[in-house]
Structure 1
Amino acid sequence: MSTQDLPAALDGAAARFGRYLEAERGRSAHTVRAYLSDVESLLAHAATEGIQDLAGLELGTLRRWLGAQSESGKSRATLARRAATARAFTAWAVREELIDADPALRLKAPKREKSLPGVLHQQQVQRLVDAAEAASAEGEPLALRNRAMLELLYASGVRVGELAGMDVDDLDPDRRTLRVLGKGNKERTVPYGLPAALAVDDWLRRGRPALATGSSGPALFLGARGGRVDQRQVRSVVKDMLERLGDTAATGPHALRHSAATHLLDGGADLRAVQEILGHSSLATTQIYTHVSVERLRQSYQQAHPRA
């Protein structure tokens, strides 16, 4: 059943939940779409069981929905996320008095598989930035931009969406810091190093003016036609750079974020400082990078110690 075929009461509840996430919780448009995709999947399943409004939702309905997701091959991480969405939705419905009791209170889903994120070695990062610098040597605007984006992603650990959304005045060149608008519209200040500062300055002096148009506005990074660079373009640039590196399975800008966090901890940075830099709301999210560091240490030990 498509979402267009949902009973009016269910469709209306989904729409109200979306407005709540956006207006009251300050969720981004991307996050709202992700939540609503899961909620609409649940309600479409409920409709196939003859449920016409939220009062008909039962724990069994939620469990059968997750079961169908599992049978279709969805990963444990996806099932855990969808169960969390269902709990958020039904808890909201109780608060809004759309239902009397919360059917998801006893809903459980498989625990997420704990996977270590792809991380580049410091030597690989050096080769990556060396290649970007060589490509920008002739001053071609897009090459200058690509080098600056790469340096800034690794130097600051920002998310790709945060990078694409930056304006020129978000930079403080004197203090070498960035003003970053992160998830939930939370603002943070992030430092960056001298190599990134030099690359960004080169882009601003020689690259950006060559691409800027009257409609470019304050965007820090521009596309070939002068508009603000979008996330897809950034991902494509970094993906191509990593593929040319040749000896890593890491893909995309998030690998640079993972690498920045891991290398900070490897270098002795405080875990809470790394949490602040990355913009994690929970320290537990940052702690996965300590596992990465320990795993890398273990691998090095096994390779190097004669009695490993």
Structure 2
Amino acid sequence: MGYSSQHALLTPLKAWFKWLVRERHCLHNPASELELPKVPQGLPRVVLSVEEVERVLTTPNIEAPGGLRDRAMLELFYGTGIRRMEMANLSLYDLNPSRKTLLVREGKGRKDRLLPVGDRALHWAERYRREVRPELISGKDNGHLFLTDQGDPWPINYLTALVRKYLRQAGLNKNGACHLFRHAMATHMLDNGADIRYIQTMLGHAKISTTQIYTQVSIEKLREVHKATHPAKWQVREDERVALLEALESEQSEEE
């Protein structure tokens, strides 16, 4: 069992014993000296490029009601970086087109946060809300923004399967689903110069250290600094560059 799983299992156990002592059901807290394992902050294994994200976003068939709805959800995943549970819990009025904001109610840690929504994501979400959602309502309207074909709120495992389906259709055989758009949003914003504190707010991280992992994934700024300051830089003629790439490709083919 990994450190993350151990941490997830032991945390509620410590809280339970603490509650038992506070409510005087126990005289002593046997978990008071229990040290939680430190969860390693590993880099995201897969980060989609801007081109790959665009390929996935344009995969749904927007001529079909379900495809238009799916496009709206994918755009919001990438545009706001929300988690799949937060997407599933969005209510009809959490999206404010006049203010161009999305209210995430009781996200991780039961905290609300207000996020900006870009024009493109807002366009597709509004098209879905006007053109498709009324047709999906069956019986009493439960107020959820996104509904399945049966008119129900989205279970989170269904969201995972949906996003994974579009990744495969876009020709991306990569592990992951909804969280890939969250990683991509954070990395691409950092590549374009966003301050890490704003990324923290967008993602809803309680600690800046959780967000700082994306600074290790964002390579563009590091590449610029390396190119500008490394003393071993030198110019390559175009014919030499092409010859080098051809040699590398030939070498890779031989290895395969």
Q: 1:211 aligns with which of 124, 130, 136?
A: 136
Per the TM alignment, residue 197 of structure 1 is displaced from its structure 2 partner at its CA by: 1.2
Q: Deviations over 1:43-101 (max 9, x none)?
A: xxxxxxxxxxxxxxxxxxxxxxxxxxxxxxx1122123333333323333332233333
Q: 2:5 aligns with which of 46, 53, 78?
A: 78
Distance in 2 between the 1:255 and 1:227 partners? 25
**1:83–1:109 Cα contact (<8 Å) kept:** yes
The total of aligned residue pairs comes to 228
Q: Equivalent residue for 2:202?
A: 277
Distance in 1 between the 2:201 and 2:172 partners? 31
* TM value normalised by structure 1: 0.66
Q: Equivalent residue for 1:170?
A: 94
**2:205–2:211 Cα contact (<8 Å) kept:** yes
Distance in 1 between the 2:126 and 2:37 partners? 48
Q: Please state if 1:221 is matched with 2:146.
A: yes
Q: Equivalent residue for 1:90?
A: 17
Matched residue type, 1:125: V
Q: Write the mapping of 1:45-124 to structure 2, written as runs, cut at 5 A.
A: 74-117=1-44, 118-124=46-52
Per the TM alignment, residue 232 of structure 1 is displaced from its structure 2 partner at its CA by: 2.4
Q: Which consecutive residues of structure 1, in runs of 5 or more, have no partner in the other structure?
A: 1-73
Q: 1:234 aligns with which of 159, 164, 173?
A: 159
Matched residue type, 1:207: V
Q: Please state if 1:153 is matched with 2:77.
A: yes
**1:242–1:251 Cα contact (<8 Å) kept:** no
Distance in 1 between the 2:92 and 2:38 partners? 42
* TM value normalised by structure 2: 0.78
Distance in 2 between the 1:92 and 1:180 partners? 29
Distance in 2 between the 1:268 and 1:202 partners? 31
Distance in 1 between the 2:51 and 2:72 partners? 19
**1:154–1:259 Cα contact (<8 Å) kept:** yes
Q: 2:116 aligns with which of 187, 191, 203?
A: 191
Matched residue type, 2:97: P
**2:88–2:156 Cα contact (<8 Å) kept:** yes
Per the TM alignment, residue 109 of structure 1 is displaced from its structure 2 partner at its CA by: 4.9
SS in 2 for 1:179: strand
Q: Deviations over 1:139-174 (max 9, x none)?
A: x11111100000011101111111111122111112
Q: Equivalent residue for 1:292?
A: 217
**1:179–1:189 Cα contact (<8 Å) kept:** yes
Percent of matched pairs sharing the same residue: 38
Per the TM alignment, residue 296 of structure 1 is displaced from its structure 2 partner at its CA by: 9.4
Q: Which structure has the highest helix share of the two?
A: 1
Q: Equivalent residue for 1:130?
A: 58
Distance in 1 between the 2:36 and 2:150 partners? 46
**1:94–1:100 Cα contact (<8 Å) kept:** yes
Per the TM alignment, residue 294 of structure 1 is displaced from its structure 2 partner at its CA by: 4.9
**2:191–2:221 Cα contact (<8 Å) kept:** no
**2:58–2:71 Cα contact (<8 Å) kept:** no
SS in 1 for 2:113: strand
Kindly report the root-mean-square deviation, in angstroms, between the aligned alpha carbons of the 2 structures.
2.7
Greater mean deviation of Cα atoms: 112-121 or 170-179: 112-121
Q: Deviations over 1:193-245 (max 9, x none)?
A: 11111111221232222222332332211111122223222211101111223
Distance in 2 between the 1:296 and 1:240 partners? 33
Matched residue type, 1:153: F
Matched residue type, 2:56: L
- If asked which structure has higher relative contact order (CA below 8 Å, sep 6+), I would say 2
**1:120–1:248 Cα contact (<8 Å) kept:** no
